[in-house]
Structure 1
Amino acid sequence: MKTAHIIKSSYSGMMYSRDFQLWYTYLSRRLNQGWSPQDLSFLLGKPDHFYMDFEKMFQVSKFLSAESLLLDRVYISSEVVPMAFHLEPYEVSTERIVRVKIEEDDVKWNYTIEIPWRFELGKKCSAAPLLYMEEWKAEKDLQLESDAMIHVRGKLDFLLDKKILERGKSSWELFQEVCTTGLSQLTIYPRHLKNCLYTMIQQGKIVVRNVENRYCFSSIV
């Protein structure tokens, strides 16, 4: 019987309880959408590593201050995962260490998140819980991938023909334009848009610019 090959890794970072609540919310949203960290970096108009730095807890407060509003627009949601943290009367909110342990096998990643806070349970409080999440690896169907790329390219060509891209559009704005297909079996992911845009850049049909420190795509006039 074949034994699954498991790779273990971990990382940690310091954050306030409110920042952790948002960090956990955005991780949950990403996994529910089936997007990768690179997908989020692209939708935020940033280099590939940008969102992964946030998930690995690098300068979380700074990231949230700059990106929360746009992330909520990307997800079309501002709902936060409910968490009631317990503080004793003598305690103040301080940064504490959060640890994430990952076990990766052939089909998924298992996340175990260790937090230092206790949760309120009515008039009582519970011990610091362990939080578990799963991220399944994508099984790419070549035909569906091809159909998705054809769909996105058709939408982008339409935008070019109508001169809608003359003033430029951000990654997330373009994703809103192309993500609806009307077909239940066809899901458009940010990577499909990214690949199409970069192909069209190579073909000299679209140019990418840095506008207010974010990528912006426009037609070549």
Structure 2
Amino acid sequence: MMIKSSYSGMMYSHDFQLWYTYFNRRLKIGWSPQDLSFLLGKPDHAYLDFEKLFEVPKFLLSESILMDRIYACSEVVPMEFFREPYEGSTERIVRVKVVEDEVKWYYKIELGWTFQRGKDKPAAPLLSLEEWKPEINLLLESDAMIHVRSRLEGLFSRGEFEEGRSSWELFQNVRHTGLSKLIIYPRHLKNCLYQMIQQGKIVVRIVDDRYCFSSVK
């Protein structure tokens, strides 16, 4: 069974370049939109709204710096848009068509621009992209949760939560395992943190409009 959907938005070419860069990065690293929202310290829908082309300039203005830190990368996908000499910079429509089946999402991006072509010009970016649906291995999921929980308990016992820690800071402390097969995803951290909240060890607060996790005082 295939499910089809689409969404669209108006933006300037520079904003599209950044939107595409972050979209492409997410697909390559294998995180979900909810993973990104969590690392940004925002509700689940926050990053997904951006990816669905809602208020793209506003999101980029407030989140680009942290997004680059999250990915440890500030390199933008190169692209050069064709413009007639008399044309100014104008907003144009971007539309994304999505086809979902049992194993993948297929994205087709339609633009109101064309790209410059030539020997010294960057190659046009791929406008048809795919995202595999995650395959959950219960044993690896269990190992990941055990690893993250152990790291968090260590941080908690050393008083690292007393001043409050952001999702992104905590992820840096738990993501490296030294095992090539054991990959830690932001969802593992999120689940473990909410277990600690249920146990009454920590609470979640909002600091500077982002979620912050701190010990109960």
Normalised to the residue count of structure 2, the TM-score between the two structures is 0.96
Q: CA deviation at 1:35?
A: 0.6
Q: 1:119 to 1:81 in 2, by over 3 A?
A: same
- Of the three residues 196, 204, 217, the one matched with 1:200 is 196
Q: Which residue of 2 aligns with 1:39?
A: 35
Give percent identity, aligned residues only.
70
Aligned CA-pair RMSD:
1.5
Equivalent residue runs for 1:38-117 within 5 Å: 38-117=34-113
Gaps of 5+ in 2: none
Q: CA deviation at 1:71?
A: 0.2
Equivalent residue runs for 1:63-212 within 5 Å: 63-122=59-118, 131-212=127-208
Gaps of 5+ in 1: none
CA distance in 1, matches of 2:4, 2:53: 18
Q: Which residue of 1 aligns with 2:18?
A: 22
CA distance in 2, matches of 1:137, 1:51: 18
| Structure 2 counterpart SS, 1:209 | strand
The one-letter code of the counterpart of 2:10 is M
Q: 1:81 to 1:124 in 2, by over 3 A?
A: closer
The one-letter code of the counterpart of 2:194 is Y
CA distance in 1, matches of 2:125, 2:72: 29
CA distance in 2, matches of 1:123, 1:146: 51
User: Are residues 1:10 and 2:6 paired?
Assistant: yes
CA distance in 1, matches of 2:181, 2:149: 18
The one-letter code of the counterpart of 2:92 is R
Question: What does the per-residue CA deviation read over 1:166-201, in whole Å, with 9 as the maximum and x for residues that have no partner?
Answer: 111110110011000000000000000000000100
The one-letter code of the counterpart of 2:146 is I
Q: CA deviation at 1:129?
A: 8.1
Moved more, 115-124 or 173-182: 115-124
CA distance in 1, matches of 2:168, 2:129: 26
Q: CA deviation at 1:122?
A: 2.9
Normalised to the residue count of structure 1, the TM-score between the two structures is 0.94
CA distance in 2, matches of 1:130, 1:71: 22
| Structure 1 counterpart SS, 2:116 | strand
